Structure 1
Amino acid sequence: MTLNYCIKSFDELTNNELYNLLRLRSEIFVVEQNCAYLDLDNKDQKSFHLLYYVNNEFAGSTRLVPAGLSFEEISIGRVVIASSHRGLGLGVKLMEAAIEGCQQKFGNGPIRIGAQYHLSKFYQSLGFVEQGEQYDEDGIPHIEMLRA
């Protein structure tokens, strides 16, 4: 199994990469999670996008958000793995690459995420710590988490 990824600014994405990215987010966040919400939130244009591939097939992505756009700190958002590629440990690899990518693009600093609450233990295994209380986002329980 060959794993590789790239990190691109919005303007560097090809039409096909952008289409694949938005389609995957829609498949998982809107259809699979049965959550009607506006994914296109005007943050993509100011973020970097990590595209993850397995055997040259698009398998997942996340966006690296500069400080001040979603949170005061640097942030990672829209973490998604295609249903066809789950169970391979890609979530950990994707997040490790995203953390490293944030450091490369924005420098060292704390990273804040708005995590789906049921994934809290997963993010804790990557060094994130729960902050505050659970909150509802589009009908799904979330919690803010910080990696110092």
Structure 2
Amino acid sequence: MEWKLKSYSELTKEQLYTILAERIQVFVVEQNCPYPEIDGYDQQAHHLWLEEEGKIVAYCRLFQGGIKYKEASIGRIFVHKDYRGKRYAREMLHRAISLLTDTWGEKGIKIQAQHYLLEFYQSLGFKEITEVYMEDGIPHLDMVVKT
């Protein structure tokens, strides 16, 4: 398995296609949530993923502060269903947080977390900054971690 980090312009067509297909599978199909997955932000993101033989095991998008929010941001976080429960999400988020704070010098990171993952994100240092709200029919809340 290999971790990869690429800006939009560094992605091959095949990598972008695979990323979008997997995100649609997780967020639209598995969660039965029709919403505009292609949102115009991929071009401004860095894409971090764990790959095994061409298959995406875990994935997230990273944004520097000022792009989506005042703070840096991590989004579209998922682990492929065949790899869940093996701590890949935790490893990926540790890498993402370290990259944003240690490498890019960001002072805070904001996420829109699905409510059922509240304790997971709290275990990584994120704190709730909103009440639970519905986003595309799924309970969410905004969380931040400060460095």
1:140 is aligned to: 138
Contact 2:71 2:106 (C-alpha < 8 Å) held by counterparts: no
Deviation at 1:16, TM superposition (A): 1.4
How many residues are matched?
A: 146
Distance 1:69 1:108 in 2: 12
Distance 1:52 1:75 in 2: 19
Query: Residue 72 of structure 1: SS of its match in structure 2?
Result: coil
Instruction: Map 1:1-148; keep pairs closer than 5 Å.
Output: 3-54=1-52, 57-103=55-101, 106-148=104-146
Letter of the aligned partner of 2:129 in structure 1?
Q
Q: Is the alpha carbon distance of 1:96 and 1:17 closer, same or farther for their aligned partners in structure 2, counting shifts above 3 Å?
A: same
Q: Is the alpha carbon distance of 1:82 and 1:68 closer, same or farther for their aligned partners in structure 2, counting shifts above 3 Å?
A: same
Letter of the aligned partner of 2:95 in structure 1?
A
Deviation at 1:84, TM superposition (A): 1.1
- Structure 1 consecutive aligned stretches of length 4 or more whose deviation exceeds 3 Å: 54-57
Query: Residue 130 of structure 2: SS of its match in structure 1?
Result: strand
Q: Is the alpha carbon distance of 1:144 and 1:138 closer, same or farther for their aligned partners in structure 2, counting shifts above 3 Å?
A: same
TM-score (norm 2): 0.93
Letter of the aligned partner of 1:63 in structure 2?
R
C-alpha RMSD of matched pairs (Å): 1.5
Q: After superposition, give the CA deviation of every residue in 1:62-86 in whole Å (9 maximum; x if it has no partner).
A: 0001212221100000001111111
Distance 1:70 1:134 in 2: 20
Distance 1:68 1:99 in 2: 16
Among the aligned pairs, what percent are the same residue?
A: 39
Distance 2:3 2:71 in 1: 24
Deviation at 1:55, TM superposition (A): 6.3
Contact 1:50 1:98 (C-alpha < 8 Å) held by counterparts: yes
Letter of the aligned partner of 2:83 in structure 1?
H
Structure 1 unmatched runs, 5+: none
Query: Residue 36 of structure 1: SS of its match in structure 2?
Result: coil
Letter of the aligned partner of 2:145 in structure 1?
R
